[in-house]
Amino acid sequence: MSSRAATLLFERNKDAWLAGLLNFLRFPTISTLSEHADAMQRCVEWIRDRLVEAGLQAEILATGGHPAVFADTGPVVGAPTFLVYGHYDVQPVGDLNLWQSPPFEPTIRDGAIYARGSADDKGQVMIHLAALRCWKDTGTTWPVRVKLLIEGEEEIGSKHLAGLIESNREKLACDYVLISDTAKLDADTPALTCSTRGLVYKEITVRGPSHDLHSGVYGGAVANPANVLATIIASLHDEHRRVTIPGFYDDVAQLSAEERRTLASCGISDADLLAATGSRAPYGEEGFSSAERCGVRPTLDVNGMVSGFTGEGSATIIPAAASAKISMRLVAYQEPDKISAAFDEAVRRAAPPVVQLTIATRSTCGAYLCPPDSPGMQMARQALAEGFGREPVLAHEGGTLPILPLFKKVLGADSLLMGFAMPNCNLHSPNEFFHVRDFELGVRSILRFIEIAGDSVR
């Protein structure tokens, strides 16, 4: 087995690989701060050089913002092509006093590497760099074609990624996208993330009188925008806490008995929900568990409301306007444009004609679902099971990852989300960490994946 030979090579040079990862982590690649542009450039060149060492053709792609690096093993006749996507930019560090060791001076404590970007996403990108180099060093030919696209703007919304993918459609063509930027279930259990939710974000504004009014003189005689806004919002859920927008649930798939069983055993428990949120009791759509509500059911939530007098003491006014920001998390098969239009229609119908209503759409993004029984998912499942010595769980991500529907739309490729970080790895927070052991388990699993995928076509 070539993956075994490559894994042995990795283990023999583990200290050097770890030192390489620490070098990677020393680049202060905070994409949102322009003063780090030089570090971004040096880091992208560093990645390119590692990929060239691993025997790939590698180049830096200009994007109009921070550059990306692209690399390719070259064609492998009759074998599938995988595009590894990752990012080398990181979140800002926040309050330095809260870090036990400086964010860009990686420090190993109790088997964990502490540094900004260790888990998100440099440690996980390094897994792929190491796996490819170790495979090459066994002297065996590539069993599959591997391409990589490592970008530098993920933490600022991947501003230039859509344009980059569209203008490099041929170059990036692949059967599957492979992403290591998610977490395991727990220390010993790998996870394959198979779905993410979509998002429709709205801002509604209700305007009534031309200016704030005296509530004693005019109250009760004109429409109060704050009252009207509250009525509109209240009308969007029924007493079973279901969204009342006509057609909202039309395209939502029924949960199968197996999905419900999986979520019951792997999804968030009520106890964990209460501990994480500080809430008194679970609360949500009737007939569904907390795990189902957090991952595979659509939602509608007010994110903020502004109106009238909110200062100290009291001011007896009828406000001239009221506004709210509302987000809807969508699940597979719900069309963002259809939901967006249905929302506007429902809100208009709930508003009395005497007020002036404006509805703005701030962002829309589809949900994503990778069919769990697809050949790629089966390969990923087997590779993780053999890498960890334990079957992975299928995870449903409640958040939104716009790149997944983007890859599907432009490249026609599904994404396999094989992540190796701990669920509590302090993502975007002080003291972000990545376990040395997970770096090793990652390399082992990715090497198995390359081999299994190669075997699948023989």
Q: Which residues would be at the binding site for Zn ion (CB under 5 A)?
A: 120-121, 181
* Residue 14 contacts residue 6 (beta carbons within 8 Å): no
Residue 161 CB, shortest distance to Zn ion, in Å, is 13
Smallest gap from Cβ 422 to Zn ion, in A, equals 14
Residues 422 and 285: their CA atoms lie apart, in Å, by 29
Vertex 42: Cα angle to 40 and 46 (nearest 5): 115
State which amino acid sits at residue 254: Q
Class of residue 278 by CB neighbours under 10 A (exposed 0-12, middle 13-18, buried 19+): exposed
Cβ of residue 182: shortest distance to Zn ion, in angstroms?
8
For Zn ion, the closer of residues 181 and 440 by Cβ is 181
Is the CB of 245 or the CB of 395 nearer to Zn ion?
Answer: 395
Residue that the structure tokens 């949500």 belong to: 284
Name residues whose C-beta falls within 8 Å of residue 379's C-beta, 6 or more positions apart in sequence.
416, 449, 452, 453, 456
Question: Which pair of structure tokens corresponds to residue 202?
Answer: 């709205």
CB neighbours of residue 280 within 10 Å: 7
Torsions phi, psi of 320, nearest 5? -75, -25
Between 28 and 208, CB nearer to Zn ion: 28
The residue among 120 and 151 lying less far from Zn ion, judged by its C-beta, is: 120
Q: Quick one: 85 or 343, whose CB is closer to Zn ion? A: 85
Nearer to Zn ion, 70 or 85 (CB): 85
Query: Considering the complex, what minimum distance in angstroms separates the CB of residue 167 from Zn ion?
Result: 23
Contact 412, 169 (CB under 8 A): no
Tell me how far, at minimum, the Cβ of 348 lies from Zn ion, in Å.
38
Which C-beta is closer to Zn ion: that of 151 or that of 181? 181
Tally of CB atoms within 10 A around 251: 15
CB 402 to Zn ion: min, Å: 13
Nearer to Zn ion, 125 or 393 (CB): 125
The CB-of-380 to Zn ion minimum distance in angstroms stands at 18
Q: How far is the CB of 446 from Zn ion (least distance, A)?
A: 17
CB 382 within 8 A of CB 456: no
Distance of closest approach, residue 449 Cβ to Zn ion, in angstroms: 20
For Zn ion, give the closer residue by CB, 123 or 366. 123
Q: DSSP characters for 24-62?
A: HHHS--BTT-GGGHHHHHHHHHHHHHHHHHTT-EEEEE-
Determine contact, residues 454/33, Cβ cutoff 8 Å: no
Please spell the DSSP secondary structure of 238-296, one letter per residue: -TTS-B-STTTTTTPPPPPHHHHHHHHHHS--HHHHHHHH--SS---STT--HHHHHHT
Q: Which is nearer to Zn ion, 342 or 421 (CB)?
A: 421
Least distance (Å) between residue 401 CB and Zn ion = 9
Between CA 55 and CA 53 the distance in angstroms is: 5
Query: Cα–Cα distance between 187 and 441 in angstroms, integer?
Result: 11
